[in-house]
Structure 1
Amino acid sequence: MKLFKWNISDIKPKFPNVVEKMFGKKITDDISHNEEIATIPSVNIADENKAFEVSVALPGLDKKDVKIEIQNDCLIISSEKKYEKEEKNKNWMRREYGYASFQRMFQLPESADQDKVQAEMKNGVLSIKVAKKKDYIENKKQIAIQ
């Protein structure tokens, strides 16, 4: 005889995910019943006249925690952050630690000048400008529909 009807999700703690707070939105996998598997930062990309501008929301991170590189015509933004906190008293000890990482990769267009990239981190927002090639002529061709 059951006295109480309960579900495991009813007793699961509903504390905010530290990684989700740090990096933004979460990626979910519908097949595994929407369990969190990773988090990624929010990104805005703009195609301006003279450059491509990428803005990445990275609250809680310092510029020393972020790595930016260009590899095989891709702009790669990544981060890895570890933390440890330890408190000791004469009768107890408390140790907390955590780890969070992400990687975002963007294919650069042919018009991007990979030698002219600027990056700046301010108030938790990473801003990257990738200049456009001055003498680049876009190759367009109209295709007739038959």
Structure 2
Amino acid sequence: MTLVKFNNGQRRNTAGPRFIDVFDSILNDQFVNRATVNKTPAVNILETETGFDIELAAPGLKKEDFKINLDKNLLTVAAEVKKDETAEAKNYSKKEFGYQNFSRSFTLPDSVDPNKIEAAYTDGILKLTVAKKEEAKLQAREIEVK
């Protein structure tokens, strides 16, 4: 494991090195990191000839935690995480793992087949496969020049 120092290990010594060390550790550990953490999972969307592949990065969850709904052309993926009572009883000196409820919605185009949506959860990635309608698939053909 390699530790990376920011600012190349140089500190601003205008107020004294101990003063900055104290406030850096307080601000970096408690306020700044938690305030800037995104609470929704990152998403990759890939369009292929036959449909769309939607991947959500949601590590630490179980497939039973997910709830996927389709209402007209709005696909909603939500996860409800049950709190672990034994984890709250432990006395952590630092706790950065945080599994929270989330909900993401995607507006599907008219070209998708609502009856052909599949979901699989493997290695922390929820993958949704949304098939296109047959008439929406790209038909490749050669056009003759006259």
Residues 1:124 and 2:124 aligned together: yes
The Cα of 1:40 is off from its aligned counterpart by: 1.1
Count of residue pairs brought into register by the alignment: 115
TM-score (norm 1): 0.63
Secondary structure of 1:64's partner? helix
Q: Distance in 2 between matches of 1:15 and 1:47?
A: 39
The alpha-carbon distance between structure 1 residues 46 and 11, as it changes in their structure 2 partners (threshold 3 A), is: closer
Q: Distance in 2 between matches of 1:108 and 1:8?
A: 49
Structure (1 or 2) with the greater helix fraction: 2
2:89 pairs, out of 85, 95, 105, with 95
Specify the alignment match of 2:26 in structure 1.
12
The alpha-carbon distance between structure 1 residues 86 and 137, as it changes in their structure 2 partners (threshold 3 A), is: closer
TM-score (norm 2): 0.63
Specify the alignment match of 1:70 in structure 2.
70
Secondary structure of 2:64's partner? helix
User: Aligned runs of 1:1-146 on 2, under 5 Å?
Assistant: 9-10=23-24, 12=26, 14-15=28-29, 35-36=35-36, 38-86=38-86, 95=89, 100-136=100-136
Q: Once the two structures are superposed, what CA deviation does each residue of 1:23-46 show, in whole Å capped at 9, x if it has no partner?
A: xxx8xxxxxxxx347511111101
What 5-or-longer segments of structure 1 have no aligned partner?
21-25, 27-34, 88-93, 139-146
1:111/1:132 contact within 8 Å kept: yes
% identical equivalent positions:
30
Q: Which has the higher contact order (CA 8 A, sep 6+)?
A: 2
CA RMSD of aligned residues (A): 3.5
2:59/2:124 contact within 8 Å kept: yes
